[in-house]
A and B are shown apart, each in its own frame.
Chain A
Amino acid sequence: MTDQAYNFTYLDEQTKRMIRRAILKGIAIPGYQVPFASREMPMPYGWGTGGVQVSAACLVPEDVFKVIDQGADDTTNAVSIRKFFARTAGVATTEHTGEATIIQTRHRIPEEPLTEDQILVYQVPIPEPLRFLEPRETETRKMHALEEYGLMHVKLYEDIARHGHIATAYAYPVKVEGRYVMDPSPIPKFDNPKLDGSPAIQLFGAGREQRIYAIPPYTKVVSLDFEDHPFEASKADHPCDLCGAENSYLDEVIIDDAGSRMFVCSDTDFCNSRQALGHRGRLSPEDAA
Chain B
Amino acid sequence: MKPFSYERVTSPAEAAAAVARTPGARFIAGGTNLLDLMKLEIETPAHLVDVNGIGLDRIEPTPEGGLRIGALVRNTDLAADATVRRDYGVLSRALLAGASGQLRNKATTAGNLLQRTRCPYFYDTNQPCNKRKPGSGCSAIGGYSRPLAIIGSSDACIATNPSDMAVALRALDATVETVQADGTTRTIAIADFHVLPGKTPHIETALKAGELITAVTLPKPLGGTHIYHKVRDRASYAFAIVSVAGVIQPAGQGRIALGGVAPRPWRVEAAEGDLPKGAKAVSARLLAGAKPTADNAFKVSLVERTIGAVLAEVKGKA
A, B assembled together: no
List residues of A whose CB falls within 8 A of some B CB.
Answer: none
List residues of B whose CB falls within 8 A of some A CB.
Answer: none
